[in-house]
Chains A and B, each alone.
Chain A
């Protein structure tokens, strides 16, 4: 089997579901003939026709609104927002309707929709193309927020998102769209949306991360292993709702937690993890929880982008600080 990128895994998942579920529609700006600006929908219009895979006019509120209406009336829309930085007109429909439809109608109507968007920094793009605003969506009751970090998880989680009965914001870390390849069997098998993934087992410290930062986190873990420090690396994958059980179980063993994310520091998903772990496992901790994150600044343009994003070095230092405490 040939290996594919995270981006190709997205295409493969969309393709599988379009093939097997007639109610799936894929649409957004430039997703048709152009196959999406990153080519996530490459070839899909040709294969499934312009009734099921199509370009919309340039309007994100409309894309999200169509998703809400379609999904409430029995279709399974997968809308693409070209970059997560252009999600904001769509947020109205997400917050005011998609997240509330089931509750508002006491279960009579619901919104099984997916809104996909490339997100995060690291590709030297213009303004508003690089932010990590996952906490914005994670804060909204009723939404699921899913962020894959490998080709296999992109495939399995996107399938799960499309089959989930509730609205999912699916954020694709574009920095790693093309950098790692994996074998991804095209068997239509979804992954669970409500569990974290333990990517590396370890006894000394728990590293919790998601999205593109998983790569730096794994690198840091490998380098620390050479110094005899065993890190357990957990990919959150579904940042909302959070699988606390896996996290807490891990922290209870390692007694140390470092959270790694490129989001701005304050009020982020990292802050939520820290609070939740403090609630459930404070007495297991022997060192303060560390957060390695972006700063509370506007994501800088490319010249300072790498100074903003957490580095392997910053992660290692945080781990070493937690190890200064005696057990």
Chain B
């Protein structure tokens, strides 16, 4: 039999877990200490935020919360690879990408605190809000990409999903149409090895998730998702291609979910401590810090003052969150339609009366 097609999956890693540079051709941003520091700041801020959010949940001051511990390079790297005009279609834990784009920590808290106002966040007003139904964002992401293509705008979409999400039909449909129409979209699969209790190995027999791109006729690449330089470089180049009309890409970022799935989960039921400890050894922050030290722009003192600064920022955000007024009852009606239909106006009135009577 003749070979009709053959495919290979590349793997990109620039910074190894010890912070050593594995290439001679560093991207420009990685040679710029200021830019590297900027990313490190957002990564560490994200981690400070994360542990504070979990503490708030544990003390009853926040609802169920999905931790991003260990995902900082994958998330911040994607944020840093985008331009303002691009559109982010996240799932629910990519705060690092969102902080980079201007979303405020208090807004994330409002959302997980059960206040829709949190989704009316700062940052680019065209960005999509959090998406709970797994993988569905890949399809509307494709729609957004088609809008830019139709209007000939040099903009692209990043749709982010998890390893589990790659099993949904929606994801295949999205890649397929993106391939057919050469849409300006980059699918970023943050493969953190777990979909709640289901390991990556139980999602698919495929050796990589990146190779799912091939069936759609689009390029797929895998990278070390704990290496922020690799993430920003590869996603940045894919976005550039997309904006230039050269079509979509699938990027699989390998990382590890160091926390429970959410605060409602207990990962000890289904995975070993040993596995988690091993993953901790290759987490993303330390290698970034070591790299900064090797550039001669970082030391313990600077680290300590950054931690103090992060803490201050997050405490201020927590204060703003805790002092935010509860939404008015009418909030649940007022964003339903551009103009409230009469039937709903009636219900709105009833709701005000009934709730007043309930007090």
Total interface residues in chain A, CB < 8 Å? 42
A33 to B198, CA, bound (A): 9
A295-B351, A302-B114, A317-B357 given; A85·B133 CB < 8 A = yes
Interface members, chain B 71-96 (any A CB < 8 Å): 92
8 smallest CB-CB distances across A and B, nearest first, come from: A302-B114, A34-B197, A57-B167, A58-B164, A301-B114, A303-B114, A33-B270, A300-B332
In the complex, which of the residues B133, B326, B343, B354 contacts A303, with contact meaning CB atoms closer than 8 Å? B326
Give CA–CA (A307, B358) in the complex, Å. 9
Q: Is the CB of B347 within 8 A of A295?
A: yes
Instruction: Evaluate whether A307 and B351 lie within 8 angstroms (CB atoms) in the complex, with A33-B270, A300-B331 already known.
Output: yes
Chain B residues lying within 8 Å of A129, measured Cβ to Cβ, are 132
Scoring B residues 181 to 209 as 1 if CB is less than 8 Å from chain A, else 0, what string do you get? Answer: 00000000000000111100011100000
Question: Can you list 21 A-B pairs with a CB-CB distance of less than 8 A?
Answer: A30-B196, A32-B197, A34-B197, A57-B164, A57-B167, A57-B198, A58-B168, A59-B169, A88-B133, A89-B168, A125-B63, A125-B64, A297-B333, A297-B336, A298-B336, A303-B114, A304-B329, A307-B351, A311-B358, A314-B354, A317-B354
A307 and B355 contact, CB distance less than 8 A = yes
Measured in the bound complex, the distance between the Cα atoms of B164 and A317 in whole Å is: 47
Measured CB to CB, the closest approach of chain B to A317, in angstroms, equals 7
> In the complex where A34-B270, A300-B331 touch, is A126 in contact with B204 (Cβ < 8 A)?
no
Which one of B111, B112, B332, B357 lies within 8 Å of A297 (CB-CB)?
B332
Mark contacts of B144-188 with chain A using CB atoms, 8 A cut-off: 1 yes-contact digit, 0 otherwise: 000000000000000000001101111000000000000000000
Residues of chain B at the chain A interface (Cβ within 8 Å): 63-64, 92, 111-116, 130, 132-135, 164-165, 167-170, 195-198, 202-204, 264-265, 269-270, 326-327, 329, 331-333, 336, 343-344, 347-348, 351, 354-355, 357-358
Contact B358 A314, beta carbon cutoff 8 Å: yes
CB distance from B174 to the nearest CB of A (A): 13
- Assess whether B204 is in contact with A57, with CB atoms less than 8 Å apart: yes
**Bound: A302/B115 CA distance, A:** 7
- Determine the chain A residues whose CB is within 8 A of the CB of B351 once the complex forms: 295, 307
A35 within 8 A of B: yes
User: Is A253 at the interface (CB under 8 A from chain B)?
Assistant: no
* Interchain CA distance A314-B347 in the complex, whole Å: 14
Query: How far, in angstroms, from A128 to B133 measured CA to CA in the complex?
Result: 8
Task: Tell me, yes or no, whether A232 is within 8 Å of chain B by CB.
Answer: no
A72 CB within 8 Å of chain B:
no
Q: Which of chain B's residues has its CB closest to A32's CB? A: B197
Inter-chain CA distance A10–B170, complex, in Å, is: 31
A304 CA to B332 CA, complexed, in Å: 8
**Interface flag for A275 (CB, 8 Å):** no
Which single member of A37, A85, A302, A308 contacts B63 (CB below 8 Å)? A302
A172 interface residue (CB < 8 Å to B): no
Task: Tell me, rounded to whole Å, the shortest Cβ–Cβ distance linking A156 to chain B.
Answer: 29
| Nearest chain A CB to B193 CB, angstrom units | 14
CB distance from B69 to the nearest CB of A (A): 18
Known contacts A58-B164, A303-B114; A29 and B204 CB within 8 A of each other: no
- Is the pair A301, B164 in contact by a Cβ cutoff of 8 Å? no
Pick the residue among B63, B92, B169 that contacts A124 (CB under 8 A): B63
